Amino acid sequence: MSIHERHRLSVVVNARGTFTPLGVSRSSAAVASAVAEALPEFFVMDELGDRASDAIAHATGAQAGTVVHCTSAAITLAVAACMAGTDPRRIAALPDARDMHNRVVLPAVHVVDYGQSNLQAIRLAGAQVTLAGDEKRCRLEDLDEELDGPDVTCLMLVSSRLTSGEPLDLTAAVRAAHRRGVPAIIDGAGQFPRTADLLATGADLVLISGQKYLGSPTAGLVAGSRRLVQAVRAQGNGIGRGMKPSKEAVVGVLAALEEWQAMDRAKWAADQETKVTAFVATAGEIPGVVAEVVPDPTSLPLSRALLKVDDAPGLARELEAGLPPIYVMTDRQDAGELMLELLPLDEAEIATVIARLWALLDK
Ligand SMILES: *Cc1c(COP(=O)(O)O)cnc(C)c1O
């Protein structure tokens, strides 16, 4: 009996990407077996934390790293680290940050909602958010103006396809913060393959989701300066207690990082491209469908399949209503566009998607 049958759960085809309500990603057999091996064992958790730091540093080029429960937790704890450092009194006082530098500067174009607003993840540490610029754009002058104010503890930046408005030059933004002695943090939750690029902006901490493109169990990876990573770890005795990683998550991250480093990345990228190109060629034969290969807007080494159809919201609804339900990206459905992320799908699932599209559109 499958796990879905045993618990009476729906089998779904997930072409929506690393989407939390659908279980995010598939872990490899090697990661799954490392997790199974860890569960019945005891560990000295600090030792496991040190090994995770070495592994994250080795994989990303950062000085140090740590694992927390998820990226949302990583945002809260990175802000807490900037406010409280490793001072036990301050760590115990949070989220009361009244006597600390407690203002986080965030470009307004980097306010995102991944199921929760990142504004709330920042405020959860006890910090207050000051937005720079407006929803359309944040110029460096806008950032400078806010960074110049009193009580700034850090600059928070987001690298994601969820950001809006004109893109901001992250390297220049980090430099503007550093000119004022303010640390810069980049939330790159869905950007694992680009962690080194994000660190190359000079950011003090880069936050990455383990369960998205690394394919580990749910985990937030924090990579960056030794001093701030140490401060993030220190929050474990404060507000970080409820955001700690499980032993099996840390072991799963170690296994996934090892696998990633052993992988032939050029071949991986080429295989993904072949998969998307083949899908687009097949889908383009369906009446009423214009299909295109679309590169990731944030330069992840990953393309997606764009389908242009007459009634995109209607098609998305029918795909979800069928058996098995098929989930696609609907952000631009009102413009007649559906996007499919094929990365985790196997051949049978791709055949299911194609067959369903024929059934729904060839009338
Ligand atoms: C997914 C996402 C998060 C939240 O990640 P979790 O690991 O699910 O907490 C935060 N920021 C961005 C930009 C995301 O895409």
pLDDT in tens, 49-96: 999 999 999 999 999 999 999 999 999 999 999 999 999 999 999 999
Give the atom of ligand 1 at the shortest distance from the alpha carbon of 116: 4
Helices (H), the chain: 3-6, 29-38, 45-60, 71-84, 88-93, 118-123, 140-147, 170-179, 195-199, 226-234, 247-262, 265-283, 312-321, 347-361
Q: Which phi and psi angles does 113 have, rounded to 5°? A: -125, 110
Confidence of residue 277 (pLDDT cuts 50, 70, 90): very high
Question: Where does the pLDDT of residue 304 fall: very low under 50, low under 70, confident under 90, or very high at 90 and above?
Answer: very high
| Tokens coding 13 | 């085809």
212 C-alpha to center of ligand 1: Å? 9
Q: What is the pLDDT of residue 149?
A: 85
- Nearest one of 225, 138, 234 to 184, comparing CA atoms: 225
**Which of 273, 302, 31, 110 has the alpha carbon at shortest distance from 193?**
302
Distance 329 CA to ligand 1 centre (A): 16
Q: 216: how many CB neighbours lie within 10 A of its CB?
A: 30
Average pLDDT of 283-290?
96
Q: Which range has the worst mean pLDDT, 118-122, 232-236, 297-301, 345-349?
A: 297-301
Model confidence, pTM? 0.97
Residues with CB under 6 A from ligand 1: 20, 70-72, 112, 114, 158, 160, 162, 187, 189-190, 209, 220
**What is the set of domains in the chain, with CATH numbers?**
3-23+264-361 (3.90.1150.180), 42-262 (3.40.640.10)
Per the prediction, the chain carries an average pLDDT of: 97
> What are the pLDDT digits (tens) for 111-154?
999 999 999 999 999 999 999 999 999 999 999 999 998 999 99
Contact 246, 226 (CB under 8 A): no
Peptide bond into 344 cis (omega under 30): no
Q: What percent of the chain has pLDDT over 90?
A: 99
Per-residue model confidence as pLDDT tens digits over 144-196: 999 998 999 999 999 999 999 999 999 999 999 999 999 999 999 999 999 99
Per-residue pLDDT band at 363 (split at 50, 70, 90): confident
Q: What are phi and psi of 308, to 5 degrees?
A: -105, 125
Look at residues 160, 261, 170 and name the one whose alpha carbon lies nearest to residue 214: 261
Residue 199, Ramachandran bin (φ over 0: left; ψ between -120 and 50: alpha; else beta): alpha
Q: Which atom of ligand 1 is nearest to the CA of 220?
A: 7
DSSP, residue by residue, 212-225: III--SS-EEEEE-
Interatomic CA distance for residues 169 and 215, integer angstroms: 28
Which of 227, 188, 237 has its CA nearest to residue 204? Answer: 227
Residue to mutate (ligand 1; options 22, 114, 212, 331; most atoms within 8 A of CB): 114
Rounded CA separation 329/188 (Å): 20
How many other C-beta atoms lie within 10 A of the C-beta of residue 71?
Answer: 27
From 19, 22, 71, 218, give the residue whose CB has the most ligand 1 atoms within 8 Å, as the site to mutate. 71
- Pairing state between β 337-340 and 303-308: antiparallel
> 109: pLDDT confidence band, cut at 50, 70 and 90?
very high
In this prediction, residues 263-286 reach a mean pLDDT of 95
In single-letter form, the type of residue at position 193 comes to P
| pLDDT (mean) for 98-112 | 97
Nearest CA to 72 out of 115, 106, 126 is that of: 115
d(CA 177, CA 125) in angstroms, rounded, equals 20
Can you tell me the distance from the alpha carbon of 185 to that of 223, in angstroms, rounded to the nearest whole number? 10
For the CA of 74, the nearest atom of ligand 1: 9
246: which DSSP letter? P
